[in-house]
Structure 1
């Protein structure tokens, strides 16, 4: 239900701001980071894999290679032979992702000779403490050493490439960065703002809140790792193939060759964004991850491919707030649950599509946070509207109570936005039909019975009369001692003459039914020794003002106007002139709408109490066609009966 008052709208806006602020605060504290990372991983998996990088070759040490050597760790002579075999085919760079800080005979001297070659890059391990550090082989010079440490997120997944680490004046370079520098024969340039330039690329370091991150350790200089492939970014051969000279020389010449273990038993394995999609062997070997990093660096430096970029914090906040507003607007203006569900789903799909589209252009923007904000604000809006609707329903029921038919209650509730303003039923001019009923000689009856007996007896009477009103789609507006006022045609306006005529016919039919009900009640009361009575009814069709009347502490639904007075005066007109059990008097204004469906008797133009002008009065005697009374009442007739007067001689 769209809010119709500025106060309600203002309250909802303030509440929406609070909910959005709560989401932003949770994001700032890092509580949403895991959701952002999950979305990021899904987008990484959705991208198509690139072809193998033609600049790289991986020499994998597999479980089969380990079984072939029949010795662990593998002796130095094996690696020396492998390096020698590779050098024959003129690789530009060889990276040895194997720790060889201590000799493992036989063959240490041969390995030392191979490690002294200028195109061989070795690794060392920084660790978190000096005790964890593992040095590089002593024959390798400092400009041919790179650290092999990999940076994991809190969930153990590798999404970042740590390129440099500075400890005081000493700067360490990562294994993949060192390989790229050697391949390009460039050391790169450091800019004052901490950026690093290599070839065509400028590497901007991650901040603690870049993209979906919020509280990461941004120490050193890191970039977001752009995986080339879910499997391997390069061609892969095995150590045995190299040792047996079974590798095509074209796969080696002028390439960077990385040597490392892929065997599960070595446990140099790590989780990646692709891991959730893999059932067997979900982890990626370290040497393959180094190759992923190396491929990204080379592609950016040589081809100018864009690295991941991120929005500033104010723009990200504006992005999140915009989606929160969209979620609130959809929830606030779409009322049908099915359409609302479709629109909400469409909004989230649009957000995912926009985020993924930007991701394909190497932008990582928040997706989980705006989605949560949109859902939270939308849900709160729906809850707020439900509460507001309940409040309105309470107002309606307080005004009308249980004194209306289900059809009228449903119509009223469907039109509540137009009818209710500031917690009140707004006054409106309506054309209605008013019915007043009263018990003849009630005062005399009351003198003969105790209040307790009269209360029970009167409740039976009013209960039966109220049912008749509901049956004919009217509203019991008020009880007045032994009298009752009912209104037909409120609170939903009647917009056509046919609808007004239908109300008039229903009102007259209701009065006739009341007479039938009174006859049944009298038979029961007579058997029980209770009073047997007659009743009078006055009916008038005209214009009234209907709406809430009263103040904050007492409020009721009132119908005001001369039409009400005329209906009341018709009921009280010539009280002694009554032969029937239920006398029903109507005016010409009501008769014009009856369309020959009832038999009437003309009483002429009468002076009603308190009125100067005369009113043309008629008594309703019954239905004109008893066999067809129900179908006639159910079908509104557009033509008005204005000129012809139906009369019947009572004798």
Structure 2
């Protein structure tokens, strides 16, 4: 039981990260997506051109080829971070490659058409992604097709480089124009332009749909967590079987406003609604600090489920303090009761309406303790006290005669 409680707490803490990974992908999937959709493009084209021009043997024995792979991985790792800057990140690979290769090639580095293409297209992609993600987000949808066009032109550029290098020609504007002027080259170039635009328009639609799905999923996720709690959402995502009925140890906390019914009779429904909403806003953060499995608001009653008595007691103190500071302005207070033990937890309900909760005598007893507690006080059961007696300062209460109980409840009041 203890190990299950510990695992439940850890699972609850990871809920937000799990939900985010489902929406945006895991760290590995984001890394692979960046490599395949952006950072790896130049590596693929340069590798193909080097193998075509120099052969497999020269390619495999050239250390700069492996350095390029390392540089690409560094760039991919940086750009796959959520806070990576797209402009500077897209220049990492070309910068590392240049710094490493210049000592080998000297000034001839910048006379190599491959290197010129590398820098030219790296800058264009960096500028477009800088505008899209950082500087001109309002026109980001217009930049997606343009970026796809640039990537298509990069294929044409390498085609030209291979043609020039294979014939040992000196690259210049006149040669490039003449090279592209032939019917086959003209067809290839304009085909790549049109394909780039079409793929860009398709990417634009996919990006729009993905963003809409992520926004919708985020709204539904927020509503699910508000209604069911982050623990249930995380369990439903990773281990749906974990929502089946199971017996486990839980700590149940109830808090209720004393004299609330009489106070409501003296005030308008609008005033009551304002007080309750303010009450929830004050208490919920105090309860949430200690990783509740579920918080439920029912009128002026708050029920919180925790994995351990330590969490329940800490939450009770925090919630009582918040309630005291808020409710004393209205001349009322809230009593709190805490009990722990074995319960049955899971999804209860019918085919269309279901909710996660716990049932059992432990829940009923916690409610009875809370009902016998004056405003501003915290009453705990003997089970909670015996498990934490060395860490609590308490005073004994009169045994509580609770409805439906054959024996009076032994209880303690926190000081």
Bigger strand fraction: 1
- Compare CA radii of gyration and give the structure with the larger one: 1
Structure having the higher helix fraction is 2
Which TM-score applies when normalising by structure 1? 0.31
